[in-house]
Every structure is written in C-alpha cells, then in structure tokens.
Chain A
C-alpha cells in the first residue's frame, strides 16, 4: 500500500485535484494572469485618511482601551523609570526580555535598564538557548517586555513579527505582555500596516509571522460573559514612545 504522505507536494495529487475542480466549475485553468484582482473601491485605503496625527492617536488610544489594553504614553527618557515602577507595582518576579541589539535598546534609552531592570529573575529570549529553554522561560514569566512595530488606530492593535530575538512564545506565554511602540509607528488601519510590512518584505524582511494583537486574550464562550485572559496574556499594555 502506498503511503498517502508520499502524495504531499506530489504533482499528480495537485494536478488531479485542480483539474477536477476546474472541470466541475466549467472554467479553464490559468486564466487568472489575464484577470488579476482589481478592487472595486478604495475603502481600505481611505479609512481614517482624513484624520490628523493627533486625531489618529486619540482614536488609537480609545480603541485600544476598548479592547482592554492599557495605554501608556511616555517620552524615551522616562521609559526606564516607568518600567521599573511598573514591574514593582505588579510584583513581577520573572521578567522576559528580547535579545535586542544595543542599538535597539538604546533607541529607547533602555540599554542600562535592560541590564538591570530591578526584577529578581530576568530571562532573555534568544537563539543561543534551546527552543525548550526559551519556551520554559516564557511560560515562567509574569511579564514580557517586547517590541512592537505599528499601532493601528482603527482597531486598537499593536503588530509584532517573529524574529530570533522575540519569538512567538514570547508574545503568547507570559502572564503579562507589554509592547513598546514608537509613536512614529502609528498607522491608520490594518491596510496601512499590511502595506508597510509588504514594503519591508520587498526590501528583505524575512519572518514567519505577522501578528496583529489587540489587547489581552479573552473569551465569551461561557454564557457569552467576557472573560479576560484565557490562553494568552491576561494583561496587555501598549507603551507608546512619544518622541520616537
């Protein structure tokens, strides 16, 4: 008996399937190249296009709070103090940090803080550790402080990508997630964020994941009552850096 597994990535398996459905539809294959998708309107690009940067920021804050994200605005010079105080206030005993380069930390004036954040146990997500060690660290962490790329006004979302310094488990496993986002990363809509990632990809960005995170994990599965904090973080904070 031949194994079904041999049929994965097998030309016959694919061709038979695609020919069969093309026949069922009564339409020839390979007609797409002459009929690429052309959207009938520009709504996704027009969304919030008439708003000033101040208005966009206000919309972003309102929408972020409506998804139970905590929003904090600080200039770079105050980030270290804020993070230290925040960790203390939340009684953090296990902190997880990304393996940022010195330049990446310094962009936010956090090089010193990252070396001495004032928390008892500090782990760094890094490709120098095994997968399991990283995941265990993330699972132990009661706070992860990571880097976000864009803050989306229309949906109250912060975006992150998967990279060697900050993996998937970094964003999902800790009890609390705090994402640092520069104010220059404020965009109108999910469309604008997608456009920016497409540009970055065309310029060489390589990642397996674009993640759009809107607040802490939640569920309405029990009697439709909103429960915050199911599998992912139970608290989510966006730290917006006003002067970056």
Chain B
C-alpha cells in the first residue's frame, strides 16, 4: 500500500466519504468519546502543560542529536548480538526484510500493528515469498487484512469505519458462526490467531521508542499481540522510523504515559514492554533480533521548518480533535497518515505532487496544536506547506495567475469595476437558484449560486463547490447605493465617563 492509500482525486475521495454515513457517525462518536477520556486522563495527571514542555524537550533534543543517539542504540543492539540495518528508503527496508525471511526459511510470519511497516509496503513484499504465510495480529489490522487489505481510517483505530455486522460477515468466511457481539467476535480472533501464533517462526513488530542507552525497544499495546509476537518466533524484526528514539527508559516512560493518555485516555497501555534479544538462561524470546531503521523521506524534514513533525509520537489526538477529519474521515486523506499529522507528514514523505491537497484540508483552527502532547505547531506547518506550494513550487499557477491578473486590472479601473458590479447580478442568473429548501429565511433573498459548469477555472470551482455563495444583488440595491441614499437621522449621544474623556 505504501503511504498512499488511493489513486482517486482528493475531491472524489471526499465525496465518497461524505456518502458514508456510518463512517461519519462513527468518527464523530469516536471524537466525542475520546475527548472525554483524554481530558479526564490528562487532568488526573495534573500539570499537563508542563508535561508537554518536558515531552517536547525530549523529542527536540533527540532530533538535534539524532545520528549520535542512533549510533549509541545500534552499538547497544550489536553488543547483545543483535543486528541493525539502516534503510534509506522503502525499497531497501522491505527488500532487506524479504531477504531475511527467505534466508530464515520463514513459513509463518506474524506481525503486530506498525505504521512504518505499512509505509514501506511490507505486507505485499512478504506475501510475494512463495510458501510464506503472513498474518496481522492486531485485531483491527486483522480485520482489514481479512477484508482484502482494506485501507485504515485512523492511526490508533484503523477500523473505525467498519461496523460489527461487516466484521461478523468477514469472520464468517473464516468459520465464525457467532453473533455480532464484539466480545464474541474478539474471542473468535483470539482462538483463530492463537493457533497461528503457536507455530509462528518469524515475528515483525514496530517500535514506539528505541532506547539508546540499552539497545532495547519499547512497545505499547493493549491486546498483548506484540508481546506474543516477540515471545514465540525465534526471529524477530523490529521496524522503526529513524526518529523514534529516546536517550533512556526514563524518557521513554514519560512519553509512554503521555501517549496512552493522549491516544486512548488510559494512564498506560495494558502492555508497556521494554525488550530485546533473548538473554542467557531465558527460554523464549527471539534468538535472532534484527532492527531495521528507516529514513524513507524523514531526513527531508531535518534541519527545515518541518523538523518538528518528527517529534510526533503517533497518538492520534490531533485527528481526534480535527473538525475536518470529523467530516472527511480517514480515507478521504488518501494517506496512511490522515488528519493534521498526515497533512504535514504526507507531503514530506510522499511528495507534494501526490499530496498537494492535504494542507488545504484544514481550517487552521489550531485545535490540533493545542492537544498535541509533544507540542508540534501543526497548523503553522500546514500553513508552511501552503506557502511552499504557492511560492516555492508555483503549483497550480497558470489559470489562477491569469484570473488574479484580470481581477487586479478590473479593480484598478473605476469604469471596469463599476461595469463588473452592474453585470454581476444579471450574469449570475443562469447559475442561481431562487428556491432554497431548508435555507434560513432571509439568507439568500436573491438566490444562491451552487453550480458552475465544468469548464470554469478551478479557482472559481474551489469557491462554489464547497460553499454556498449568495447571488450578487442588483447594482442599485448594493451596499454603496444603500449607503449613499441613507443619512444618519440623529447623532449618537456621546457619554462622558467619570474622570475621563468623552471618547474613552
């Protein structure tokens, strides 16, 4: 799948999501429920803003000395007889893991949820190995896999768009004969996956934080699937974005607490594990421990105004407060990273050509920045992308420039401006509707424009397609005329404040 989840144009994706009433209601419900849980969990901790200062400091410090921390981590993994591979891009990362799976003669590969493995298109690569099986073990990822690798909607709740009946139907294909109670559905998956887990020989996990000073990796999950993935298979591969590192377990535990509170309103995830290669005397855990550290475009943000996005700890809180995400849902973004995080990260990792629309899927309300536990100035970065697109990359310039030049000329000349004002009302006749069922009374007395033909330039479509534009009034009824015709009847009285001046 890679970072991009769709080839359809942004507007088509949004329209499809608009029609998906279950998904939209589910997103709204999730946002509201998470608001209560998240706020409560943060309040209980106390001093939330000072915790955010600390979390921001940890993440910024690590980014500043990233090569040094990665070096320290790699040294410590190697000291435990583990292996570290640095992959500059998606191809290197998934090809490396494929080679390893082949070399280890992997038969039953098991994965636990990891955004970066989706980003590097690992599933598809591994499925191309003849004779190898692959199962996603996270409940949501398993559901997506069984539904023909459906796209995720959210980084924390990937199946937000699916209801229990759809899930029941997917599971029936695997032999499930129970009802649509989520508890029963989950128990079925427990049994189904347990059989597979018991014979798994190659485990793949992501990594919440790599611990530089001891070479361990830190994973946060609620289901326990990641821990079983790290217990049973003899070979374990950890795939991590290169920025997911902290100096020591002390900084990791700070971020674990903030991640759980921000992501799901818990104090800590059910399993918060620091782990590495099996040590002498221990019975289970990986004999063979491999870490793949992935750049895949992240370094494009280093040293730029976009560097703060690498502070992200993938809690999903920004999408849980975003008013645009509430309407569009996760799939509309066309990226595995949706919401405000995705609006900033997707163009960096996947390029502006592919994701140029995303920075515009934002009202710049700043709710995301306010909630981000590591204080990423998300709306500033989104705006920064717009600046790059318009100034730096001169994207979408031709027709827009021409129109704006014409508007400039028109507004400079009193004659042209006056003529345009006169013509606005009659010219908009053919695009206007006077019948407005459901509209607020008096809102569109002259009707509103909600349609323009296809050939009209994109700039104008941009306005009309997404807004209700009132039809211009007749020239002689416009504000200028009204103002000219009305004189004040009486001066407003000036009240003098005590001890002050009349106009204070």
Query: Which residues of A line the B interface, CB within 8 A?
Result: 3-5, 7-9, 13-14, 16-22, 24-27, 29-33, 35-37, 39-41, 43-44, 47, 63, 67, 125-127, 129, 131, 134-136, 139, 154-157, 162-164, 167-169, 171-173, 190-191, 194-195, 197-198, 201, 206-225, 227-233
* In the complex, B477 has a CB within 8 A of chain A: no
Contact indicator A210/B270 (Cβ below 8 Å):
no
Chain B residues touching A, majority SS: helix
Q: Are B54 and A163 in contact (CB under 8 A)?
A: no
Total chain B interface residues with beta-carbon distance under 8 A: 108
Instruction: Specify which chain B residues have a CB less than 8 angstroms from the CB of A169 in the assembled complex.
Output: 228, 231-232, 283-284
B444 within 8 A of A: no
Quick one: which of A22, A139, A212, A230 contacts B198, CB cutoff 8 A? Answer: A139
- Chain B residues near A35: list those with CB within 8 A: 64-65
Which residues of B have CB within 8 Å of A134? Answer: 283-284
Instruction: Give chain B interface residues in 260-311, CB to chain A under 8 Å.
Output: 264, 266-285, 290, 293, 295, 299-300, 302-303, 307
Q: Judge if B318 is at the interface, Cβ distance under 8 Å.
A: no
Interface contact B78-A43, CB-CB below 8 Å: no
Give A209 to B282 CA distance when docked, in angstroms: 10
Q: Which of B143, B167, B190 has the most CB of A within 10 A?
A: B190
In the complex, whether B69 has a CB less than 8 A from a CB of chain A is yes
Q: Which residue on B lies nearest to A26, using beta carbons?
A: B303
Residue contact A172 to B224, C-beta cutoff 8 Å = yes
- A195 proximity list for chain B (CB < 8 A): 250
B66 CB–A CB distance under 8 Å:
yes
Say yes or no: B271 contacts A17, CB within 8 Å: no
B139 and A212 within 8 A (CB): no
Q: A30-B68, A231-B224 are in contact. List 14 more A-B contacts (CB 8 A).
A: A4-B92, A4-B95, A8-B96, A13-B85, A20-B295, A27-B65, A33-B68, A44-B54, A126-B283, A135-B198, A214-B268, A218-B222, A230-B190, A230-B223
Distance between Cα atoms of A76 and B152 in the complex (Å):
50
- In the A-B complex, the 4 residue pairs with the smallest Cβ-Cβ separation, listed nearest first, are A232-B224, A17-B86, A168-B231, A222-B182
Chain B residues whose C-beta falls within 8 Å of the C-beta of A207 in the assembled complex = 279, 282
Could you tell me if B271 and A211 are in contact, using CB atoms closer than 8 angstroms?
yes
Q: Is the CB of A13 within 8 A of B86?
A: yes
Q: In the assembled complex, which residues on chain A have CB atoms less than 8 Å from the CB atom of B182?
A: 222-223, 225, 227
Q: Cβ of A7: which chain B residues have Cβ within 8 Å of it?
A: 85, 96
Question: Is A67 a contact partner of B157 (Cβ separation < 8 A)?
Answer: no
Q: Does B230 sit at the interface, judged by CB under 8 A?
A: yes
